[in-house]
Structure formats: C-alpha cells, structure tokens
C-alpha cells in the first residue's frame, strides 16, 4: 500500500483561533484591493480563493505570514492600506486611465506610493475639490454606497441670482428624471445671491448640476469643500496628502455608526 498524499480538507472551525502573526482571509483579500470584506466572504464561499493552492471555503480562516493567497490564479499581496486626499483642479477626469489621452486624477497622485489606489466616487471634469483615493475596498464601498449617507458640502457659483422661490423648491426636494433629489441644507453665501453652499448626502451622477439646471440655472463653478469628516484645510488645489490615522479612524467610526437602509423604506 503506497503512502499517497491526500488532499487537505479544511474543516469548519479548524482555523478559527487567530495568532498574532495571522490575518482573517476576507481582510487579507480586502487589503489586497480586490473587493470589500463582505464581497470577499462570497468569493471564499464560492470556492474562488486558494491558500497555498488549496481551495478554502471557511469564512473565518486565518492567513499566516508565510501563506500565499490566490484569486483567479493571481497571487495577492498583503498590501499596506493607503488613504490619499486630493484637492482636484478642473480639467481632470475621474478615471484610472483614458483612451483619448485626456488628463486623469491618477496623473496628480502618481507619486503617492507603490500601492494601487482607486478614487472613491467621482467628480466630473469641471468640478473641483475633495476626492479620496484608497485601496481599502471595504471602506471605499461604504463611502460610495448611498445608503450610508456620506455628507458632502459644495460651493456652487451660478450664472444669475437665485430666487427665494427656487431656494424653497430646493429645500422641499427637486424631482428629476431619476427620482427625488433631497438637499439637506442650502445657504446663500454672497450678497448678489449667485454663490451658494449646499449640503447633500445623495451621490447620483452630476446631481448638484442637474438640480440647478432643472430650475433654469447654469453652474459656473462647482467645488466640493467637504467629504464626510474631511475638509480642504491646508490643501492647495492640485495637491494631495495622506490622511492622518485619526482621520481614517473617524471615517471608519462613521461607517460603523451607519447601516444600509432596508429597501422600500
């Protein structure tokens, strides 16, 4: 009788204790920039993740420093999480690359480090202001998901003075082609009533511009001054900086205090 190697079978609960030099498999996958932890759990359950070339289906599996993790045949790295805040200027598009050769936001942060980071949400070409980049898949998904209601404050410059009647319409909610657009707060910032401050939580495409276009105004300038708990303080236009640890903690705590709203409510 030959002593053949038998395939390794991972039993539920066999790897649940976590030594100091290990990391939970779903977190390892999220840190590698593949997806969020919740999505990583689905990949694991579906048998799409291998550790040392063995398929692992156990959600609580702990990865050691010496382990090699594979997804779709590609070796994943335990990448250092990176959080970059950019004060975006005009004429840069929010995409990883552009086939037409236009300038992208990635050109502005190309010296930010070796980690492959991605923009959280987007600002259109002519919109300026705060844009966050990270390889933290779990946090990025929460910050982008409308159910978590991430606060965004914009300065809006209009082509003509806004009327009190239109201010009241905005406060009541404007019905657009894709549904009701709710604005949390709107304030007039200039004597001539052409510059406004707008606080909003929804993140639909070009939502601020479309609100004012619907009411007959042209947005001359649009600048995002606040994103979640982050502000533009001491960050010049076109420059970037790394988030401080306390800022990352604030963003994550905010997300822990929120949960997606049930559909239909």
Q: Which CATH number goes with the domain that contains 221?
A: 3.30.70.1560
Min mean pLDDT across 12-21, 185-194, 212-221 is at: 12-21
Residues 208 and 91 reside in one and the same domain: no
Residue 7, pLDDT score: 45
Quick one: residue 116, left, alpha or beta (phi over 0 = left, psi -120 to 50 = alpha)?
A: beta
Q: What is the pTM of this model?
A: 0.71
Residue 263, pLDDT score: 44
Residues 94 and 212 reside in one and the same domain: no
Residues 185 and 249 reside in one and the same domain: no
Residue 239's domain is classified under what CATH number? 3.30.70.580
**How do residues 25-60 score in pLDDT, each as one tens digit?**
998 887 776 777 888 999 999 999 999 989 999 999
Cα gap 150→145, rounded to integer Å: 8
Residues 159 and 67 reside in one and the same domain: no
**253: buried, middle or exposed (CB in 10 Å: 19+, 13-18, 0-12)?**
exposed
Residue 202, pLDDT score: 86
Residues 106 and 38 reside in one and the same domain: no
**How do residues 92-137 score in pLDDT, each as one tens digit?**
999 988 889 899 999 999 999 888 899 998 999 999 999 999 988 8
Q: What does the DSSP 8-state code read for residue 206?
A: T
Can you tell me which residue has the tokens 């382990």? 67
Question: Is 16 a residue whose pLDDT tops 70?
Answer: no
> Which residues make beta-bridge pairs with 87?
130
**How do residues 234-249 score in pLDDT, each as one tens digit?**
999 999 999 998 998 8
Residues 236 and 142 reside in one and the same domain: yes
> Once rounded to an integer, what is the mean pLDDT over residues 4-32?
64
Residue 256, pLDDT score: 53
Question: Is 191 a residue whose pLDDT tops 90?
Answer: yes
Residues 160 and 217 reside in one and the same domain: yes
Residues 234 and 109 reside in one and the same domain: yes
Q: What is the residue range of 132's domain? A: 83-147+230-256
Catalytic residue numbers?
Answer: 124
The verdict on residue 113 lying in a domain is yes
The verdict on residue 7 lying in a domain is no
The verdict on residue 15 lying in a domain is no
């Amino acid at each position: 009788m030959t002593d053949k190697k038998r395939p390794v079978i991972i039993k539920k609960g066999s790897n649940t204790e976590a030594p100091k030099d290990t990391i939970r498999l779903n977190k390892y996958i999220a840190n590698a920039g593949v997806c969020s932890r919740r999505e990583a759990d689905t990949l694991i359950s579906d048998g799409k993740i291998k550790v040392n070339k063995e398929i692992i289906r156990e959600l609580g599996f702990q990865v050691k420093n010496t382990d090699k993790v594979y997804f779709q045949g590609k070796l994943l790295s335990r990448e250092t999480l990176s959080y970059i805040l950019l004060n975006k200027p005009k004429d840069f598009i929010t995409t990883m690359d552009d086939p037409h050769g236009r300038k992208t936001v990635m050109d502005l942060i190309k010296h930010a480090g070796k980690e492959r980071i991605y923009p959280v949400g987007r600002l259109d070409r002519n919109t300026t202001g705060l844009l966050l980049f990270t390889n933290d898949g779990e946090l990025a998904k929460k910050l982008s998901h409308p159910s978590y209601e991430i606060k965004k404050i914009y300065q809006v410059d209009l082509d003509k003075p806004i009327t009190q009647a239109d201010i009241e319409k905005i406060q009541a909610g404007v019905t657009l082609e894709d549904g009701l657009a709710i604005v949390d707060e709107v304030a007039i910032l200039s004597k001539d009533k052409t510059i406004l401050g707008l606080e909003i939580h929804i993140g639909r495409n070009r939502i601020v511009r479309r609100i004012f276009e619907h009411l007959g105004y042209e947005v001359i300038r649009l600048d995002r001054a606040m994103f979640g708990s982050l502000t533009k303080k001491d960050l010049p236009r076109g420059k970037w900086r790394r988030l401080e640890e306390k800022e990352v903690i604030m963003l994550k705590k905010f997300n822990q205090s929120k949960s997606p709203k049930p559909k239909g409510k």
